[in-house]
Amino acid sequence: MAGAANADEGMRCLEIAQEALRQGNLDKADRFGQKAKRLHPNDE
């Protein structure tokens, strides 16, 4: 169950990172991108 929760949270963090990148907020994009990678490593 925890793995699924981490996957969901990781995908949410990835979406936040992508939106921050579109807005030009590189610090936020990097922070959430790294968090997404820690929570749910994948190919994205």
1-44 confidence digits (pLDDT tens): 567 788 899 999 999 999 999 999 999 999 999 999 999 886 55
Q: Where are the domains of the chain?
A: 2-39
Q: What is the pLDDT of residue 18?
A: 98
Q: What is the pLDDT of residue 25?
A: 99
Q: How far apart are CA 36 and CA 31, in angstroms?
A: 9
Q: How far apart, in Å, are the Cα atoms of 19 and each of 1, 2, 31, 43?
A: 28, 26, 12, 18
